[in-house]
Amino acid sequence: MMKSLILIAITIIAGAMAMSIKTDDDSCPFPSQLKPKYDFSWKSKSGEWQNLTATTAYMMLALSWSPTYCATLSQANRDKEFQCMPSNGFGLIVHGLWPQAAKAPNVRAHPRNCRDEAQLNATFVKRFFCIMPSEDLMQGEWEKHGTCYYNQPMDYYVITEKIYQALRIPTNNVMTSSSAVVIKDAFLTLNSPALFASAVQIDMSGSKLKEVKICYDLQFRYASCT
């Protein structure tokens, strides 16, 4: 009996070590004060566009590796980003949940910026801050992507949180691998047998992880990223 209990304990510990820890709503850092203004207007953003005619065929959950993102910023801008403060320890965060068109020839063929929406309130931002630790990002993703499939931001972020939390994430040691193959294999192994290779995309910036993208059909079952 004692041997069985020990084996169970070892199995639980090993499983915990195999994944990065995900925190709940009350256990991740939160800024003492949000920015007063973080509303998003695509018309004022260079390089933004609107696509109201594309049909959503599937969804893509984009996850951003914080160390690589933060390294792209100047020191001054990095110091302003709560996500990038070393003491906060953010790793893989949700970049967004993106409605995607089937067989799109380019990024502009996907749905985008379907409605202009009011600034999300601070209570809402705090509710989802652990998965997306930036009020600017949260507002922008809702307006750029969420509005093209959802009527309410709560619906968009609840499903985003749900599928993110259902995903088993490799350890940070795996995420710092210079090999996209190693990172992808780790996701496939941890999420076997449901997750399959064509439902996962790994984007690298040189030898560093940039983003992990997981695709779903409209019932949020894993689907090929096509």
Buried b (16+ CB within 10 A) or exposed e, 66-85: bbbbbeeeeeeebeebbbbb
Residues 6+ apart with CB under 8 A from 126: 25, 30
Predicted structure pTM score: 0.88
Q: Do residues 226 and 103 make contact, with C-beta atoms less than 8 angstroms apart?
A: yes
CATH fold label, 44-216: Ribonuclease Rh; Chain A (3.90.730)
Q: What is the full per-residue pLDDT of the chain (226 aa) written as tens digits? A: 434 433 433 333 333 334 443 433 447 899 999 999 999 999 999 999 999 999 999 999 999 999 999 999 999 999 999 999 999 999 999 999 999 999 999 999 999 999 999 999 999 999 999 999 999 999 999 999 999 999 999 999 999 999 999 999 999 999 999 999 999 999 999 999 999 999 999 999 999 999 999 999 999 999 999 8
| DSSP 8-state symbol, 147 | G
**Any idea where the domains of the chain sit in the sequence?**
44-216
Helix (H) or strand (E) holding 14: helix 2-17
